[in-house]
Amino acid sequence: MAGSASAKGAVFPSAWRRYADPSTELPVYQLTDPASASALPAYYNRAVARNSASLLFRSDRGGSPQAFLMDLRSGGTRQLTQTEDLDGDSLTLLPGDRSFCYFAGRRLCVTSLASLSERTVYAVPEGRERGIGSSVTPDGTHTLFIEREGGLHRLRIAPLARGAARSVVEASYAIADPIARPQRDEVLYRQGDAALWLARSDGSDNGKLRLAPGGIGPANWSPGGDTILYLSLPEDRRQLSAIREYAPETGADKLVAKTSQYAHFGFNRDTSVFVGASRNAASPVVLIMLRVNGRELTLCEHKASRPEMVAPIFSPDAQRVYFQSDRGGKPAIYSVRVERLVEKIQDDNA
């Protein structure tokens, strides 16, 4: 079916285009055609397989947003879904990389990568609407998401096998982006850009975290779950945004490094290297930063209309950086090789 009309299982040839970045001359790979809108999942969901050989993303190349899997060695792409109202942010690979999870409209679905068979594991009840954000627990057994009913917002958890969904916490204000804590029975979620909250999965010990003053940008657990790394945004936009780290057990909140006005950031699996997207209008670039000394190195220009959309991430082995930009028209996915700059991280499960 290569080159055929869009349909589940259709296979498409590589659309990669390599060019030298104008500011650094490093090679940049445009992985998807900006004639169609393509994007990575939410930054806290798993887009790249553990062996760093395939990439899960969404694209509307067939007219409606659908899930695709790209072979990162050949560039070939396979369409994985043919569904309505796919929420591309909710896409995430499940442990083992044999299936993936997502919301399609009101339905929470799991699809096998081998057979592409889809099963619905949960449906949002009538009278409720989904809120912003969903993620899967590290063991791949449950999905966390937000539902709202009138002015009431609920953080919900649903099993991906058997069992009933239940509420974790309820709030009278908008909450979003629930992320399970690795190796702990806790959930991080956010109240806009004003606060981060932490609760146990049974709803107990629910409390607002005492973070640095100012707005709160992207936040995520360190891979071991010991700390939360987040972007602190000063109220005075002339001041530098900063990466900070919060330890829930002690309540300690410390500066990791000030940044070149990052609007979004990611990190490798041992958090020794960060990757950021600058919101500096005069220098709209993607950079890497060494944690040990805060030294930054520019990788390439992103030139996105909204720097927040760039949302750069490392591959699991830390040898590539992936990001998105609408510099060529519609949003497209890009990659930069960083093996000469960042030490390779071995897969502990390999």
CB 206 within 8 A of CB 162: no
Q: Positive or negative CA dihedral for 88, 94, 99, 105? A: negative
Give the pLDDT band (50/70/90) at residue 4.
Answer: very low
Rg of the chain (C-alpha set) = 20
Q: Positive or negative CA dihedral for 292, 308, 214, 210? A: negative
pTM for the model stands at 0.95
CB neighbours of 65 closer than 8 A, spacing ≥ 6? Answer: 37, 58, 59, 86, 88
327, amino acid identity: R
Give the pLDDT band (50/70/90) at residue 348.
Answer: low
As beta bridge partners, residue 199 has 187
Give the pLDDT band (50/70/90) at residue 6.
Answer: low
HSE at residue 110, side-chain half, CA atoms within 13 A, is 18
Output DSSP code: residue 240.
P
Counting every residue written for the chain, the total comes to 350
* Spatial separation of the C-alpha atoms in residues 12 and 20, rounded to whole Å: 25
66-80 pLDDT, tens digit each: 999 999 999 999 999
* Spatial separation of the C-alpha atoms in residues 310 and 312, rounded to whole Å: 6
54-113 pLDDT, tens digit each: 999 999 998 999 999 999 999 999 999 999 999 999 999 999 999 999 999 999 999 999
Give the pLDDT band (50/70/90) at residue 1.
Answer: very low
Question: What is the number of H-type helices and E-type strands within the chain?
Answer: 0, 30
CB 286 within 8 A of CB 303: no
Residue 243: predicted pLDDT: 98
Give the pLDDT band (50/70/90) at residue 349.
Answer: low
Residue 18 φ/ψ, nearest 5 degrees? -100, 140
Tell me if residue 317 falls in helix, strand or coil.
Answer: coil
To the nearest 5 percent, what fractions of the chain are helix, strand and coil?
0, 45, 50
End-to-end CA separation in angstroms for the chain: 33
